[in-house]
Amino acid sequence: MAYKTIIGLEIHTELMTKTKMFCSCTNAFGGEANTHCCPVCIGLPGALPVINKTAIEYAIRAGIALNCKINTHTRMDRKNYFYSDLVKGYQISQDDIPLCEGGHIEIETEEGTKKVHLERIHIEEDTGKQTHTTEGDTLIDYNRAGVPLIEIVTKPEMNTPEEARQFLENLRSTLKYIEVSDCKMEEGSLRCDVNINIVDSETGNKTNITEIKNLNSFRGAVKAMEYEEKRHIELLQKGENTVKETRRWDEVKGETISMRAKGTVADYRYAPDGDFAEIVLEDSWVDEIKNNLPELPHHKKERFIKDYDLSEYDAGVLTASKDLATFFEETIKYIDDSKLVSNWIMGDVLRRLKDEEIEIQDTKLTPKSLGDLIKIVKDGKINNNTGKKVLKEIFDTGKEPETIIKEQELVQISDEGALKEIVSKVLDENEQSIIDYKNGKDRAIGFLVGQIMKASKGKANPQMVNKMLIEMINER
């Protein structure tokens, strides 16, 4: 039997404004519990909200970057539900007239480029944060209450967890490029809800939609989708169905766990918020935001391919992160060889970032130190392997490459007389390898080169060594 997975996403993204959505309290992660609060954001009677213009601007910026239509006449609504982290008993959000409508993000599939369309982007306030203790108590920190959010709602057009992962990666990259959110999932500034169900392609039978709430890592989101995909298919195979419910992902158990029955829009009793007048945006302001939008990832990728003669894959990796793209362009100011810089970043630099799970801006490596190092290797002062050792030292200490090379006496041996002496000594000690090479065993050369590099402590010029080695063997 053939099954089709249907996935839609709801992504909550905190905006990087200095203050909260409807008051002047600091919008900052952390801080002592319940210290970034005032009568407005904790919902005291008589306190009136005042909308944050910068939050509206950031939401418009996101809408334009994601190809949305901007509604210049919109309003704020009340979304009513009772939960301990929601101080007022309702959330200030948007219902039938969101700030942004439509839009799309492109992803790459085996069949080619696919557009995943958006339903909407609306603005709202965040809730407080609950902490459950081992004693069974629940503590609530309202520092996060009132932080400005945009909620990005997709159409159910993704058909695999991998497509959803790509969508999230591309979305995060775009939001960081336009500098509206830091998208730090570990700090809760980007959270994802997944709606998923399965259709039997032969019979048309489908499972009820399951919502998975508050996934705070892409890895967790993919694992949760894979788990639900398998669970839904198994139910269909048994002639059963899912309950329409909300579940959460348990990272330790590696499974989703039921939380509650899934509510409907009617349960929230949306109504216009009487504390706000209608929001009317001037077309000139929206145009100004559009005209001042930074270069977006796909535009930068196209420019990297054209200006730096990079492959589509390399350009895609380098521009996926704004900080990495900036680092690349800063580095080529110190060495005018874009392909060589790309190779170093795509290789050893990204490998180190992945191993340590850090971003390029969090390292001691600077564009100047990498550019200087690549130039030193290119000029033959040290060989490639030594260059990799120097790069590791730069990551660890932040020292300049020239300083490391001088301190550790790493300058490449290119003196013909010195190299002949080393090569001759290695050949004298490995007569059998000479015989093996002359008998057609080419790998004997690799062994001898390794011995020479070992004898020279890795400082011998490899090109000179290979040429000299063949010549000296043939003379014997």
Least confident interval from 182-196, 229-243, 253-267 = 253-267
> End of a domain among 257, 284, 311?
284
Q: Is residue 199 over pLDDT 90?
A: yes
**For residues 28 and 193, is the Cβ–Cβ distance under 8 A?**
no
| Gap between the Cα atoms of 24 and 55, Å rounded | 12
Predicted confidence (pLDDT) per residue in 113-144, tens digit = 999 999 999 999 999 998 888 888 889 999 99
What is the DSSP pairing of strand 210-215 with strand 245-250? parallel
Between the alpha carbon of residue 341 and those of residues 18, 308, 346, the distances in Å are 37, 10, 8
Residue 299: give the domain boundaries.
295-407
CA gap 49, 47 in Å, rounded: 7
Output b/e per residue, 347-382; b: 16+ Cβ within 10 A: ebbeebbeeeeeebeebebbbebbbbbbbbbeeebb
pLDDT band at 416 (very low <50, low <70, confident <90, very high): confident
* pLDDT score of 254: 92
How far apart are the C-alpha atoms of 325 and 319, rounded to whole Å?
5
Task: Kindly state whether residues 349 and 376 are assigned to the same domain.
Answer: yes
114 and 221 fall within a common domain: yes
Residue with tokens 């706000």: 276
Of the residues 254, 284, 314, which one is the last residue of a structural domain? 284
224 shares a domain with 123: yes
180 and 239: one domain? yes
| Of 200-209, 279-288, 294-303, 429-438, the least confident | 429-438
Domain count, the chain: 3
Of 231, 259, 284, which one is at a domain's C-terminal end? 284
Could you give the dihedral angle defined by the CA atoms of residues 156, 158, 160 and 161, in that order, rounded to the nearest 10 degrees?
A: -80
Whole-model pTM? 0.84
pLDDT of residue 285: 97
Q: Same structural domain for residues 179 and 115?
A: yes
| pLDDT score of 454 | 84
- Would you say residue 289 lies in a domain? no
pLDDT at 72: 97
> What's the mean per-residue pLDDT of the chain?
91
Summarised one tens digit per residue, pLDDT across range 64-80 is 999 999 999 999 999 99
Residues 350 and 444 in one domain: no
173 or 457, greater pLDDT: 173
- The stretch 381-385 carries a mean pLDDT of 85
- In the block, residue with structure tokens 């009617």: 266
pLDDT for the residue 62: 98
Same domain, 13 and 145: yes
Are 331 and 440 in a shared domain? no
Judge if 96 and 221 occupy the same domain.
yes
Is a pLDDT exceeding 90 seen at residue 442? no
Q: Rounded CA gap, 470 and 461, in Å?
A: 15
Are 196 and 279 found together in one domain? Answer: yes
pLDDT tens column, 272-316 = 999 999 999 999 999 999 999 999 999 999 999 999 999 999 999
Tell me what the mean pLDDT of segment 430-457 comes to: 81
Residue 290 falls within a domain, yes or no? no
**Do residues 269 and 310 share a domain?**
no
Digit-coded pLDDT (tens) for 178-194: 999 999 888 889 999 99
Same domain flag for 90 and 233: yes
Please state the φ and ψ torsions of residue 78, each to the nearest 5 degrees: -105, 125
The DSSP letter of residue 268 is G
